[in-house]
Amino acid sequence: MKYYIIAGEASGDLHGANLIKAIQREDKDAEFRIWGGDQMQATGAYLVSHYKEMAFMGFVGVIKNIFKIIRRISFCKKDIKQYQPDALIFIDYSGFNLRIAKWAKPFNFRKFYYISPQVWASRSGRIKLIKATIDKMFCILPFEKEFYAKHQYEVEYVGHPLVDVIAQFEPDPHFEKKHLLDNRPIIALLPGSRKQEIKSVLAIMASIIPKYQQYQFIVACAPSISDNIYKELLQDYTEVDVGLVRNKTYELLYRAFAAIVTSGTATLETALFDVPQVVVYKGSALNYAIAKKVIQVDYISLVNLISEKEVVKELIQDVFNERTLESELEKLIDGPARFTILENYKKLKTLLGEPGAASKTAKSIVQLTPSKQ
């Protein structure tokens, strides 16, 4: 059968790749046409558009690029119509995907959503569109099934795909040597995957480094961001050694003693590697003002959202500065807060369930998709 998959971010590319592999095990004749990234393409799928072409951050970033987005949506519709897939699969990325879903409603192919948009956090009116256009929603957060049930929409909870990804991780025994690391404990800096967010947070992250010479700070670089961007942001800290690693975030987290992490999927990855962390976020004043009006949850990190309490400290907007960051990092390095976080991580892993998210989703998709041939 023919599958058309749309993912718009690095995390979606990762989960999309694992979903493709799982579908290939269920459907030996599967063909894939995708919007995604390098990992999805590496499965043998035909890449139509790379996610980095649409990596706009925040409301302001979307508005500035609205005409480009409209052109991409128009092209996507034409491409789907020409390809005529048996199944259309959306992965998160709701701003783009729900527009395509609405357009695709009359067409004779199944429409699936893997990794629900965060309608429980903002713009809950989108639930009506999901109910009207999506044949099956596959949720990865434990509270989402109950949330959708309150809106009379049956979804399938498959568990979190990161559980599978991290369970399969095998560390490189030569990582330290390859990256010239010494014996000092590592503090990992994860500033995000988009240029705008990296520019907003990395300099503040780095501001505390001179005070912690007994540790080595390593930045996890995003695949689509050049080293020059990181070096430019770190130019005021040439007197200290800040390491850069690319496409090796899990190797870094596997060895990290503590971490400073930009809000996003990385907060959950950090927790699954049992690394105490402080979560940070800083955007433009306008983006933040808009977000405060539309976001309806108490926390921004997945760790806290899933746990339904503050497991890790969140430093948001003006509260995120050199003084507060140093204070919170001290607690992670030496103190009862470190051990409390690690205990709460154990409970978090129980909530996320067993491995198998991609496999469960793939089986359902193949079973629910009648072939046109």
Q: Tens digit of pLDDT for each residue in 64-79? A: 666 677 888 999 999 9
Q: How many alpha carbons lie under 13 Å from residue 320 in its C-beta half-sphere?
A: 22
Q: How far apart are CA 260 and CA 172, in angstroms?
A: 23
How many residues in the chain? Answer: 373
Output phi, psi for 3, to 5 deg.
-125, 135
CA 278 vs CA 6, 59, 85, 183, 324: distances in Å: 32, 25, 43, 23, 10
Q: What's the confidence (pLDDT) of residue 194?
A: 80
Q: How far apart are CA 87 and CA 27, in angstroms?
A: 13
Question: What residue spans of the chain are helical by DSSP H?
Answer: 10-26, 38-41, 58-64, 66-83, 94-104, 126-133, 144-150, 161-167, 175-178, 195-206, 227-233, 249-255, 265-272, 285-294, 302-307, 322-333, 336-352, 357-368
DSSP secondary structure letter of residue 115: S
β-partners of residue 260 are 189, 278
The predicted model scores a pTM of: 0.83
Cβ pair 92, 8 in contact under 8 A: yes
What string of H, E and C letters represents the secondary structure of 21-54? Answer: HHHHHHCCCCEEEEEECHHHHCCCCEEEEEHHHH
CA 174 vs CA 177, 181, 233: distances in Å: 5, 10, 28
Please identify every stretch of the chain with a pLDDT value under 50, giving residue numbers as ranges.
57, 59
Domains and CATH numbers, the chain: 2-159+356-368 (3.40.50.2000), 175-352 (3.40.50.2000)
